[in-house]
Amino acid sequence: MAEQSFPSMHATTIVTIRKGDKVVIAGDGQVSLGQTIIKGNARKVRPLGKGNVISGFAGATADAFTLFERLEAKLDQYPDQLMRACVELAKDWRTDRYLRKLEAMMLVADKTTTLCLTGNGDVLEPENGIMAIGSGGNFALAAALALADSDMNAEEMAKQSMQIASSICVYTNDHFVLEQLDAE
Q: Which pLDDT tens digit goes with each residue over 70-90?
A: 899 999 999 999 999 999 998
| pLDDT for 10 | 52
Count of structural domains, the chain: 1
Domain-located, residue 174: no
Domain-located, residue 2: no
d(CA 34, CA 32): 6
Domain-located, residue 175: no
Q: How confident is the model at residue 98 (pLDDT cuts 50, 70, 90)?
A: low
The answer to whether residues 157 and 150 touch, using CB atoms and an 8 Å cutoff, is yes
| pLDDT for 182 | 93
Known active-site residue 12: yes
Catalytic residue among 12, 13, 114, 172: 12
Domain-located, residue 179: no
Question: What predicted TM-score, i.e. pTM, was given to this entire model?
Answer: 0.91
Could you tell me how many helices (H) and strands (E) the chain has, helices first? 5, 12
Greater confidence, 10 or 32?
32
| CATH for 163 | 3.60.20.10
Is the model's pLDDT at 63 over the cut of 50? yes
Distance of CA 35 to the CA centre of its chain: 22
The answer to whether residues 144 and 19 touch, using CB atoms and an 8 Å cutoff, is no
Domain-located, residue 4: no
Which domain, by its residues, includes 46?
Answer: 12-169
